[in-house]
Structure 1
Amino acid sequence: MSVKKVAVLGAGPMGLAVAYQLAKDGHDVTVFEADDRVGGMTASFNFEGLDIERYYHFICANDHPHFEMISEMGLNDKLKWTKTKMGFYYEGELFPWGNPISLLRFPKLGLVSKLRYGIHAFLSTKRSDWTRLDDVSATTWIKKWIGSEAYDVLWKSLFDLKFYNYSNNLSAAWIWTRIKRIGNSRYNMMEEKLGYLEGGSEVLLNAMKDRIESLGGKVILSSKVDKVNIDRGRVNGLEVGGKILDFDNVVSTVPAPYIPNLIPDLPEEERSKFEELKNIAVVCLIVKLKKSVTENFWLNINDKRMDIPGIVEYSRLNPLKDHIVYVPYYMPAENDKYSEPDSSFINKVKSYLKIINPELSDDDFIDIHVNRYRYAQPICEPGFLEKLPPVNLAVEGLYVADTSYYYPEDRGVSEGIRFGKKIAKMVGTE
């Protein structure tokens, strides 16, 4: 085997998985990360003395690539499991959710709608073939199964308040995998089972970084790549901080919308495909409280007074000294709301949490932090698979992928690890 000199762009889970596998296979690997820490959307920050992830993550019972990497890094003792609960806040009332009994007791739907919803959720967890759903609209698919009444109560606000003008043009295959992943992460039909790493995802990601370096690779932080250089149909290196660096292969794991500027010499057909991919942004608030909001880890919301589809009470999964709640606002970046100041989001979220739990007062709010991420979520339209450029592009030695390529799976640490290893094998064998 000839040793290849490989540059990996991005030190999120996928980039680190690529680099780790290549280093393990004996190649010369350098990872370039623009941020001052590894992780991407899984990176942690210091929230007034608490190291916590900028955006919430959790582990499901079927996240096997995640488990394998945790084991390889010798971190099995850090993996913890919790019986979590789900709730549904609907028109001013809080209801238990997430199991057959709570569905049957939910007073806002007729019996037929409840049965159709339950059958759809159950069969979705048993389905294995997604290809027939690839070209189908998610709204069409869901309405066909559960009817308009249940869709309007249980799904419509979730779609509208996350995807806005894209809400009626999402792939059913992509939505199905989200239903299946959560539905199959249970102790039994009545109890949900979710996991976390003690110390957060950074424990795993830093272990991967250390392992890459112990195998002879490099991970360079605060190092933004300005350009990928191409010469006569082959990649030949990078421009970083005014310097030209030679590499045999380049693997980019940065968000796809950056690719046209990062690799301006791409063939026009591939360049235009990257330009057509759509993403939505997120403004994610992390709230530190003296008391909990509800007993639920995940709370879906359908209430006309609130422009959020739900909240995640992370301390219901990972017990912490203070109560931690994530409130994500997903939206197209071109939406006027995305340009609103942090104070606007903070004021709204404080009022919303006090609506959900009237016992909360201003004194219960210890701190609120706001994170923003421009390219947070790919918009997976029907037929999305055909819209993606190939990972190994027409330029020899160049490989490009981001979370869009997990399709039909959703973005997540486990999928990042799986796909990263897949790319590493491509690079090592071609």
Structure 2
Amino acid sequence: MDICIIGGGLSGLAASLPLSETQDVTIFERRPIVGGCLASYDRGNYQIEEYYHHCFAGDRRLFSLLTDLGLSDRLEWLKGSTGYCVDGTIHPLTSPIEILRYPHLTIVEKARLALLTLRAKNFDLGPLDDVPAREFILEHLGEGIYASFFEPLLRSKFGDRRDEVSAAWLISRIAIRSDRGVEGERLGYIRGGWHELIDAMAERAQSRGCRIETDTPVTAISRKGDCWEVNGQVFDAVLATVPPQEIGRLIGTDHFAAIPYQGAACLTIGLDREVSQGIYWVNMKDPAPYGAVVTHTNFAPRERYGEDIVYLASYFGEQPATGLKETMLTDFCRRFSVPKESIHWAELAVERLAGPVYTTGFRHLIPAYEEHGVYLAGMYSPPNYPERSMEGSIAAGQEVAARILEGTDA
């Protein structure tokens, strides 16, 4: 059976591993490298992800995959400290003492927020899918916590669509990030970078005969009897990891549900100084052309890179703002008193379809693994609801592969 996989990101590679054991598999990847949003920059003496990534203690499929690929000894657990930039001041919010000192919430509001964090893993997320996050916060935590804490986060993450986001996403987000101690969140990372996982997956698939065609965007899909023609090649099955509506556009049909998506623009900077007071993740309450300052070298040891590495994270709707790279870099240098000569390099990664927007009612939009004769798996699949993760993308790829293989045995 000849199988075409559209997209060489985590879901596509995860699906290719079991499929290529017994089937002929071809991956079409539009970029020069595989990995999707987990792809990395090659800086010569090190590699660094284009978009910051880490894993969580419950990511069992990821851990199993690392073991299978001989990478389990590369997994390390690091501490992710957090803070909030308000009125030009960075407030650490990692330890209980730091949270108690935070001046922009009252003691009562802090107690309510702490209680919600403790309860997050016990919520029934089903009913919350139809409840806007803003409405939930106002009802359970009050206006002060919404205005001072959650509204800036929702605005930086979802922009004009922040009022459409469901409470299911919010509570899931809180729950997945609640593995905390007094030193911060416990987060997993691959020593050397996540490119080691991507490279190992691609090499394993290719060793089984999988063909990976990079720099090859899919431009046409059409039905040919019981088969599919993709870019002029005939396949018995097509597995798409891009949004369903993109497949519908290529086929020329509106039968696929439109999943709400947003874009991401992430500026990665190498520089000669630390700027965030030793904190890994600083959320921006102050208006800025980015919603968070993520200092990778306050997470993974700086000596591995020989310089400080900072991410500036931004999200957009249809298109990023014109001149965004220079706008972000200029604001960063001004806001954090960084001379331009201290910047060693800066690269802007832009992905128009970076991930779903988990609007109210999203669970009713989630497609099955097979619709209209096409197999579908990606960030919109059931394992990635109501919050996407590497674990969810691996699970989606593995589960759709199992479905395809069941069909070959029928």
TM over 0.5: yes
Q: How does 1:94-105 map to 2 (within 5 A)?
A: 94-105=90-101
Give the superposition deviation at 1:128: 5.7
Q: Deviations over 1:365-420 (max 9, x none)?
A: 2222212111112111111011233331132xx21233122442433322111111
Indicate whether 1:246 and 2:234 are aligned: yes
* Distance in 2 between residues matched to 1:248 and 1:296, nearest whole Å: 51
Indicate whether 1:159 and 2:154 are aligned: yes
CA 375–122 in structure 1, closer or farther in 2 if over 3 Å, else same: same
Indicate whether 1:195 and 2:183 are aligned: no
Give the superposition deviation at 1:278: 2.2
The equivalent residue for 2:14 is 17
Q: How many positions carry a matched residue from both structures?
A: 402
Q: Which amino acid aligns with 1:352?
A: R
Runs of 4+ in 1 over 6 A off after TM superposition: none
Q: How does 1:167-182 map to 2 (within 5 A)?
A: 167-182=162-177
Q: Secondary structure at the match of 2:221?
A: strand
The equivalent residue for 2:308 is 323
* Distance in 2 between residues matched to 1:288 and 1:138, nearest whole Å: 36
Indicate whether 1:237 and 2:228 are aligned: yes
The equivalent residue for 2:35 is 39
Q: How does 1:18-417 map to 2 (within 5 A)?
A: 18-24=15-21, 26-47=22-43, 50-124=46-120, 126-127=121-122, 129-184=124-179, 186=180, 188=181, 191-231=184-224, 234=226, 236-240=227-231, 244-264=232-252, 266=253, 268=254, 270-271=255-256, 273-274=257-258, 277-294=259-276, 295-304=278-287, 306-319=288-301, 320-334=305-319, 338-354=321-337, 360-395=338-373, 398-405=374-381, 406-417=383-394
TM-score by length of structure 1 reads: 0.88
* Distance in 1 between residues matched to 2:186 and 2:85, nearest whole Å: 21
CA 407–196 in structure 1, closer or farther in 2 if over 3 Å, else same: closer
CA 348–192 in structure 1, closer or farther in 2 if over 3 Å, else same: same
* Distance in 2 between residues matched to 1:100 and 1:341, nearest whole Å: 37
Indicate whether 1:419 and 2:401 are aligned: no
Q: Which amino acid aligns with 1:100?
A: P
CA 69–390 in structure 1, closer or farther in 2 if over 3 Å, else same: same
Q: Secondary structure at the match of 1:429?
A: helix
Give the superposition deviation at 1:189: 5.5
Q: Which amino acid aligns with 1:114?
A: K
Gaps of 5+ in 1: 355-359
Q: Secondary structure at the match of 1:183?
A: coil
Q: Which amino acid aligns with 1:279?
A: Y
Q: Deviations over 1:300-324 (max 9, x none)?
A: 12124x2432111011222231100
Give the superposition deviation at 1:255: 3.5
Q: Which amino acid aligns with 2:313?
A: P
TM-score by length of structure 2 reads: 0.92
Q: Which amino acid aligns with 1:230?
A: R
Q: Which amino acid aligns with 2:377?
A: A
Q: Deviations over 1:245-294 (max 9, x none)?
A: 22111100124442232222x4x4x23x23xx222222211111111112
CA 404–22 in structure 1, closer or farther in 2 if over 3 Å, else same: same
Identity %: 27
User: Contact 1:196 / 1:317 at 8 angstroms: preserved in 2?
Assistant: no
Q: Which amino acid aligns with 1:348?
A: D
* Distance in 1 between residues matched to 2:341 and 2:234, nearest whole Å: 56
* Distance in 2 between residues matched to 1:412 and 1:63, nearest whole Å: 9
Q: Which amino acid aligns with 1:297?
A: Y
* Distance in 2 between residues matched to 1:316 and 1:37, nearest whole Å: 28
* Distance in 1 between residues matched to 2:376 and 2:221, nearest whole Å: 11
Q: Which amino acid aligns with 2:291?
A: P
Gaps of 5+ in 2: none
Q: Deviations over 1:119-148 (max 9, x none)?
A: 111111x32632121111111112222211
The equivalent residue for 1:357 is none
CA 327–177 in structure 1, closer or farther in 2 if over 3 Å, else same: same
